[in-house]
Chain A
Amino acid sequence: MEILMAFVKAFAVGGLICVIGQILIDVFKLTPAHTLCSLVVAGALLSAFNIYPILVDFAGAGATTPISSFGNSLLTGACEGARENGFWGLFSGLYKSASSGIAAAVVFAFAAAVFFRPKG
């Protein structure tokens, strides 16, 4: 039962974040790039007020799959770094928890460029 609730919460929260994105595109006529940037900055801001981690605890993958979690991981990394190493830790920590996503995107994108051609 508990696991079922976890799925329902993931679905609802993840879906709602996507709906916010859709509204930014359709109502506020933002480009996809502007929409994603807004969500990432919003994620970082919510993280700064310790709200995003609560959302992650609540919704699990529903909060970590949307791009807003990228802002959350960047901020979490920077804060951890700063806690350990002060000012310079802001730099060394920034990508600490987001690095796997960026690395995977770069590597797989390159692989796709090697093996596939755009269909047009």
Chain B
Amino acid sequence: MAKKPQIAPHYAQIVKDNEPKRPLAANCLKAFAVGGGLCVLSQALREIFLFRGMSANEATAVYLVILIGLTALVTGLGFYDKWAQWAGAGLGVPITGFANSMTSAAMEHRSEGFVLGVGCNAFKLAGAVIVFGSVSAFFFALIKWMLGVL
């Protein structure tokens, strides 16, 4: 069995010379501005709900649901992927990115039917986040419980 070829050093250099550099500073600035902006929007919603007498936990849950709903709408209308090409992690990292990954997968597989398409594929991308979040949180909590430092 042939081993997987490793990239030859001389060719790695040629590729590097011809590949445009990723504009790291510009990308980070955009991610900072857009991601920060989204958080300000959340904060505004949070202040409103707190002002109306909700507890902090309740308010958080409600504005996350609102953001997720808005994301589903914007994704459905076909804007989210265009905006994310510009904003990068600014739209990928907030909870809206999670909602977009579920919505886009569900919409994409609508053509294979609701059960086999939407149902089976909705978690295609978001599943990774849930699995890793759940498993890591479970074991961290388990360790804390065993150490008695809950």
Residues of A within 8 A of B (CB): 3, 6-7, 10-27, 32-33, 35-37, 39-41, 43-45, 47-48, 59-62, 64-71, 74-75, 77-79, 82-83, 86-87, 90-91, 94-95, 97-98, 100-102, 104-106, 108-113, 115-119
Contact = CB atoms under 8 A, between A and B. Distances in A.
A105 B145 CA distance: 30
A75 B46 CA distance: 22
Consensus secondary structure, chain B interface:
helix
B125 A33 contact: yes
Contacts of A68: 93
Interface of B: 22, 24, 27-28, 31-40, 42-47, 57, 60-65, 67-69, 71-73, 75-78, 88-90, 92-95, 97-99, 101-110, 114, 118, 122, 125-126, 128-130, 132-134, 136-138, 140-145, 150
Contacts of A27: 24
Contacts of A118: 78, 104, 107-108
B78 A11 contact: no
Nearest to A46: B140
Per DSSP, chain A at the interface is helix
Contact of B97 (A67, A78, A82): A67
B57 to A, nearest CB: 7
Contacts of B118: 110, 113
A97 to B, nearest CB: 7
Nearest to A62: B39
A59 B114 CA distance: 40
B67 to A, nearest CB: 7
A79 B150 contact: yes
A24 B72 CA distance: 25
- Most central of B43, B44, B143 by chain A CB within 10 Å: B43
Nearest to B124: A33
Among A77, A108, A115, the one with the most B-chain Cβ atoms within 10 Å of its Cβ is A108
B68 A78 contact: no
Contacts of B128: 33, 36-37
A113 B94 CA distance: 22
Contact of B134 (A6, A64, A94, A117): A94
Given A6-B43, A36-B97, A109-B122, A19 B138 contact: no
B92 A21 contact: yes
A4 to B, nearest CB: 11
Contact of B39 (A61, A75, A98, A106): A61
